Amino acid sequence: MTANKKLLILPGDGIGAEVMVEVQRVIGWMAANRSVSFDVDEGLVGGAAYDAHGVSISDSDLDKAMNVDAVLLGAVGGPKWDNVAREHRPEAGLLTLRKEMDLYANLRPAIVFDALAEASSLKTELVQGLDILIVRELTGGVYFGEPRGIEELEDGTRRGVDTQVYTSPEIERVARVAFELARKRGNKLHSVEKANVMETGVLWRSVVGDLHAAEYSDVKLENMYADNCAMQLVRTPKQFDVVVTDNLFGDVLSDCAAMLTGSLGMLPSASLGGADESGRRKAMYEPVHGSAPDISGQGIANPLACILSFAMCLRYSFDMGEDADLVEQAVQNVLGGGLRTGDIMQDGKARVSTSGMGEAVILALDKLT
């Protein structure tokens, strides 16, 4: 492929900047070795943007995000900004990007690499070969519903209100993404909600069921309550392939699934919008881990989740599946060779720094080509 791909890099806060350096090395390697060029721009988000502009993302950087092929984000947040007004806190920048770019489908893989199976808190035989994909609705539900807020009552007490709300089109579009992904994987989809106690759950089950009957009857569909899903994830996780759920349950369940793998430092994610007339989707890719201010600046952060997020970018934004496979295999080979950052360290393995892990991935890519 020869066309330039437009990328916006938003390193963010804490270890975000450190791990993004290693991603940029992989981007450089791709440009030099795989006949693909990237037009890379950078911007600020989160606390870094607040320090520079007084907001969690500037209008100019938001405009950049709206006009590139994909956004690569590091991480946002940290105790430094705990007392900032809610609308300007680092996390608000992330929510703004998701909302303005209409990134309604969040893809969170939970993959156990063979070399790390023993790092899981579950027995090895329960997680060996695990490959789950959770599709979380990202722009609706209780995180965005109105009314919301905290009010003083006449008796001097306070009441907090959040509103869980979904429309049938919001549910249908994320379910469609999940069904399409299921067709390309194991042809099985679990749809997760709380239809037993929530009206939005009743609507969710109805809309997903109607879509299944109309367009995806070849895919095996199973409905499951969210609390049962949480239990099943730690009981027999390999029963799942693709899971689709709402914003709140997806937030919780994807973190639960993530820890089956042994470390948040290994897990990428993709947030996708709808396709336009040309087939192009707005998209943002980021590691699941946070900004980890406690280890920021020490050069010990694990860059693999961010590198694997770039692999997802290659796969979903640029239709470069072969190149994505190459990056993922390089990571697998590095782990198989015994290199570890501190978060995934095991007895008998070699501890390396952030830059050391990035260099190892580059060397593994060289060996694969």
Express as a percent the part of the chain with pLDDT over 90: 87
* Residue with token string 């940029």: 24
For the chain, list the domains and their CATH numbers: 1-119+263-369 (3.40.718.10), 131-259 (3.40.718.10)
Q: What is the mean pLDDT of the chain?
A: 94
Active site residues: 143, 194, 227, 251, 255
In this structure, are residues 24 and 57 in contact, taking their beta carbons and an 8 Å threshold? no
Distance CA 60, CA 252 (A): 32
218: burial class by Cβ within 10 Å (0-12, 13-18, 19+)?
A: exposed
Distance CA 224, CA 245 (A): 10
Intervals of the chain under pLDDT 50 = 1
361: burial class by Cβ within 10 Å (0-12, 13-18, 19+)?
A: buried
* Residue with token string 């919001």: 170
Helices (H), the chain: 16-33, 47-53, 59-66, 90-100, 124-127, 168-184, 199-215, 226-235, 247-259, 304-316, 321-336, 354-368
Long-range (24+ apart) CB contacts under 8 A made by 309-313 are 309/23, 309/72, 309/268, 309/269, 309/270, 309/285, 310/23, 310/26, 310/27, 310/72, 310/285, 311/268, 312/107, 312/109, 312/268, 312/269, 312/270, 312/285, 313/7, 313/70, 313/72, 313/270, 313/283, 313/285
Distance CA 47, CA 18 (A): 15
Q: Is the peptide bond before 147 cis (omega within 30 degrees of 0)?
A: yes
Model pLDDT, residue 118: 85
* Residue with token string 């007004």: 85
Model pLDDT, residue 1: 43
* Backbone phi, psi, residue 94, to 5°: -65, -45
pLDDT digits (tens, 9 = 90+) for 211-244: 999 999 999 999 999 999 999 999 999 999 999 9
Distance CA 53, CA 57 (A): 8
**What pTM was estimated for this model as a whole?**
0.89
* Backbone phi, psi, residue 239, to 5°: -75, -15
Distance CA 130, CA 122 (A): 12
Query: Could you tell me the two tokens for 328?
Result: 């993922």
Which residues does residue 132 pair with via DSSP β-bridges, in sequence order?
110
Backbone torsion region of residue 54, taken as left when φ is above 0, otherwise alpha when ψ lies between -120 and 50, otherwise beta = left
Model pLDDT, residue 63: 97
